[in-house]
Amino acid sequence: MRELFWLIPLFPAFGAAFLILFGRVISRKLVSWLAPSLVGLSFLFSLLSYIQLNGVWVKELFSWIKVGNLSIPFALQFDPLSSIMAVTVSGVSFLIHIYSIGYMANDWGYNRYFAYLNLFTFSMLLLVLSANLPLMFIGWEGVGLCSYLLIGFWFEKDAAADAGKKAFIVNRIGDFGFLLGIFLLFTLFGNLSFNYINSHVSAVSPGIATAAALLLFVGATGKSAQLPLYIWLPDAMEGPTPVSALIHAATMVTAGVYMVSRLFPLYQHSGFALELVAWVGIITAIFAATIALAQNDIKRVLAYSTISQIGYMFAGVGVGAVAAGMFHLFTHAFFKSLLFLCAGAVIHGVGTNDMRKMGGLRKAMPVTFWTFLIAALTISGIPGFSAFFSKDEILKEAYLSGHKWIWAIGVITAGLTAFYIFRLIFMTFYGEYRGEGHPHEAPKVMLIPMSILALFSIIGGWFPKSFAHYLSPLGYIKVIEASHSLEIYLLGASLILAIIGIYIAWLVYVKRKGKGWNFGFVYRVIYGKYYVDELYNFLFVTPYRKGSELINRYFDKGVIDRTVEGSGEAALGGGNLLSKLQTGLLKDYGLWMATGIIIGLFLAIRSLL
């Protein structure tokens, strides 16, 4: 498989190209067979390569850009880190493809949808498997593009089109930082392949390394929706739910975490950058968790939960525990996409996103309810489920590596997570049904992938230790063995908080039917998402628009155009002025002649005098 691993991204690429070109002519049946099978093939290949992997495989297909001292080969690399990502991405994508067959069954853009989904899988796999930064950048922007296309899939809805544009532009701002990071790294190292950078990182002063690392991190915050550039993810819920499940839960948003762990030596060398990553991660975690408390749209709650969980992963990597971070990423991919798929099933059944119009769906949608419950238990860190191991691994690493505050915030966020996820369950599945119509269970083609994912989210977390060992050949993975008692103490703390969270949720939403919980101002602020969107608009969007309008009307048309036309008119004016001389009166002409002669004579004679 060593020779064929580079085929992994090419299957969906071929799928995407085929669907885009012939999308309009082939039947839906063919598409619903072709698209998932291609992604399945690449999942199979990545699984096989994962199994046979020994050391690091690099395959250069052709040299992409070669100008002067810059030479960027189109090279793919398969090593432990990218193997995990490849398997998760292709696996989740395969399941979601199958799920989408059911979900998008009666949509007129069916073929187009699967074309974009395949294109996305290709870009994500390219991002994950690339051996150097510019190639990763292709995948990086490729996923940005696909998220634009898929969020704005129902482009007739203005909200969706705006959300897609917003997502792309915010990503683009992140990519601006990423691009500058690439340039800086090139000026530093002269070669942009990961292995080269990781091995030569010590040759560079920490200061510049920090600058480069932070620039790349700007790109990561854009892509993984961390604090400054997270605003696009909640709006991205306008897109179809399987898209949110795949892109905004499992794969794309984790690209940032993957990039940081891929260039971990650079971050480690710079020291400060790593700290910043940890702190940004954990602050985003708690920030997003608080917002999720008060949202009424089921998908927005999950969106904020995603932001918060990714905050966890960044915190994990930030405190030096790359294995823990990646492990959480691995488990998160499964349970978060499951949450989204269940939400999709609920929406598919009820027809609306608003939780206030749901309730009591336990009886109507049993399978969805049970898978949803499993996922909820997982995310809140109940032992036995996968997230318990991965999240606590991160908290343990944080505590041990001296980041006490990060551990504390992490634990509080765990409590909040438990609260908002069970708030969601109680509002949708308990109490009586508040919406119209009669909710029906999702079709079988959607339930199968959900149950598979539920299975994964349970067993996924049972081998944390081997995960770290699997990654160790990368060299910068450290495995710390904590004393047994300390481990119990840490696990206990987060568990207790989780249970408290669940209890409060139960108390508020089941016993007192969810009416009592509004603390007035705090609620409104959280509900308004801290008015960050409005702030950004006020600070950036409107001044840019107004400023350009003003410049356009006054400066561009006014100043420059006027000068250009002005010079034209000046010539005309001059002409008119001169024509005034033509009075038609002989006397005037005689006068001009006389003066001319006299001046001439004077000049001639003057030389004589």
Partner 1 sequence: MSVFSLFLLSALLFAGGMAGFFIRRDLVTMLLSSEIMLAGANLALLTFATMRNSIEADAIVLIVLTVAAAEVAVALAAIAVVVRRKEEATERTVSEMKG
Partner 2 sequence: MISAIVFIPLFAAVIFIFVSGKNVKFFKIASLAVSGFVFLLSIVPFIKFEAANPLPQFQEFSHWIGFGLNYRIGADGISLMLLLLTTFLAPLAIASSWNYIREREKEYYIMMLLLETGMLGVFVAQNLFLFYVFWEAMLIPMYFIIGIWGGKKRVYATLKFVLYTMFGSLLMLVGIFYLWKVSPNHSLYFYDLYSLKISDSTQILLFAAFALAFAIKVPIFPFHTWLPDAHTEAPTAGSVLLAAVLLKMGGYGFLRLAIPVFPEGFRLFSPYLIVLAIISIVYGAAMAFVQKDAKRLVAYSSVSHLGVIMLGIFIFTFKAYTGGIYQMLNHGLSTGALFLLVGMVYERTHTREMERLGGLARPLPLLSGFLMITVLSSIGLPGLNGFVGEFLVFMGSFEANKTVGIFAALGVILSAVYLLWMFQKVMQGKVKNEAYMKLPRMNLREILIMVPIVILYFWMGLYPKFFISKFEKSAKFMMEISSKTEIVQVIDGGGK
Residues near partner 1 (CB under 8 A): 578-587, 590-591, 594
Q: Check binding of 173 to partner 2 (CB under 8 A).
A: yes
Give, in order, the Cα–Cα distances in Å from 508 to each of 339, 382, 390, 417, 518: 22, 21, 29, 15, 11
Whether residue 380 contacts residue 418, with contact meaning beta carbons closer than 8 Å, is answered with yes
Residue number with CB closer to partner 1 (522 or 594): 594
Residue 473 carries which DSSP code?
A: G
Partner whose footprint covers residue 579, from partner 1, partner 2, none (CB < 5 to 8 Å by kind):
partner 1
Compute the distance between CA of residue 335 and CA of residue 584 in angstroms, rounded to an integer: 97
CB of 81 to partner 2, least distance (A): 22
Compute the distance between CA of residue 557 and CA of residue 472 in angstroms, rounded to an integer: 63
Q: Which positions ≥6 away from 335 have C-beta within 8 Å? A: 375, 378, 379, 385, 386, 387, 453, 457, 460
Identify residues 152-171 at the interface with partner 2 (CB under 8 A): 152, 155-156, 158, 161-162, 165, 168-169
Q: Dig out the tokens for 545 from the structure.
A: 């628009």
Nearest to 225 by CA among 294, 173, 153: 173
- Name the burial class of residue 21, with classes exposed (0-12), middle (13-18) and buried (19+) by CB atoms within 10 angstroms of its CB: exposed
Q: Which of 79, 141, 235, 393 binds partner 2 (CB under 8 A)?
A: 141
Whether residue 56 contacts residue 73, with contact meaning beta carbons closer than 8 Å, is answered with no
Partner whose footprint covers residue 590, from partner 2, partner 1, none (CB < 5 to 8 Å by kind):
partner 1
CB of 216 to partner 2, least distance (A): 14
Give, in order, the Cα–Cα distances in Å from 287 to each of 226, 228, 324, 336, 388: 10, 11, 22, 18, 21
Q: Which of 85, 184, 247, 505 binds partner 2 (CB under 8 A)?
A: 184
Compute the distance between CA of residue 91 and CA of residue 362 in angstroms, rounded to an integer: 29
Compute the distance between CA of residue 11 and CA of residue 38 in angstroms, rounded to an integer: 6
Partner whose footprint covers residue 582, from partner 1, partner 2, none (CB < 5 to 8 Å by kind):
partner 1
Task: Please state, as a whole number, how many other Cβ atoms lie within 10 Å of the Cβ of residue 40.
Answer: 18
Q: Which range binds partner 2 by CB under 8 A, 94-102, 182-190, 520-528, 595-603?
A: 182-190
What is the distance, to the nearest Å, from the Cα of residue 12 to the centroid of all Cα atoms in its chain?
A: 20
Partner whose footprint covers residue 584, from partner 2, partner 1, none (CB < 5 to 8 Å by kind):
partner 1
Q: Check binding of 208 to partner 2 (CB under 8 A).
A: no
CB of 607 to partner 1, least distance (A): 21
Q: Which of 28, 37, 55, 183 binds partner 2 (CB under 8 A)?
A: 183
CB of 561 to partner 1, least distance (A): 31
Residue number with CB closer to partner 1 (466 or 579): 579
Compute the distance between CA of residue 223 and CA of residue 232 in angstroms, rounded to an integer: 10
Q: Check binding of 137 to partner 2 (CB under 8 A).
A: yes
Compute the distance between CA of residue 331 and CA of residue 92 in angstroms, rounded to an integer: 11
Nearest to 379 by CA among 412, 345, 415, 409: 415
Q: Which of 82, 94, 175, 418 binds partner 2 (CB under 8 A)?
A: 175
Residue number with CB closer to partner 2 (126 or 333): 126
* Contact flags string 116-135 toward partner 2, x per CB under 8 A: ------------------x-
Residue number with CB closer to partner 2 (129 or 319): 129
Residue number with CB closer to partner 1 (207 or 575): 575
Q: Which range binds partner 2 by CB under 8 A, 41-49, 138-146, 302-310, 590-598?
A: 138-146
Identify residues 5-34 at the interface with partner 2 (CB under 8 A): 20, 24
Q: Which of 148, 335, 388, 430 binds partner 2 (CB under 8 A)?
A: 148
Identify residues 64-93 at the interface with partner 2 (CB under 8 A): 64-68, 70, 74
* Contact flags string 560-599 toward partner 2, x per CB under 8 A: xx--xx--x-------------------------------
In our burial notation (b when 16+ CB lie closer than 10 A, e otherwise), range 571-607 reads eeeeeeeeeeeeeeeeeeeeeeeeeeeeeeeeeeeee
Q: Which positions ≥6 away from 441 have C-beta within 8 Å? A: 345, 349, 364, 365, 366, 367, 368, 447
Partner whose footprint covers residue 175, from partner 2, partner 1, none (CB < 5 to 8 Å by kind):
partner 2
Residue number with CB closer to partner 2 (47 or 173): 173
Q: Dig out the tokens for 486 from the structure.
A: 């300390």
3-state secondary structure 223-284: HCCCHHHCCHHHHHHHCCHHHHHHHHHHCHHHHHHHHHHHCHHHHHHHCHHHHHHHHHHHHH
Partner whose footprint covers residue 587, from partner 1, partner 2, none (CB < 5 to 8 Å by kind):
partner 1
Partner whose footprint covers residue 62, from partner 1, partner 2, none (CB < 5 to 8 Å by kind):
partner 2
Q: Which positions ≥6 away from 137 have C-beta within 8 Å? A: 175, 178, 179, 182
Q: Dig out the tokens for 243 from the structure.
A: 């898209």
- Residues touching partner 2: how many (CB under 8 A)? 52
Q: Which residues bind partner 2 (CB under 8 A)?
A: 20, 24, 62-68, 70, 74, 134, 137-138, 140-142, 145, 148, 152, 155-156, 158, 161-162, 165, 168-169, 172-173, 175-176, 179-180, 182-184, 186-187, 544-545, 547-549, 551-552, 556, 560-561, 564-565, 568
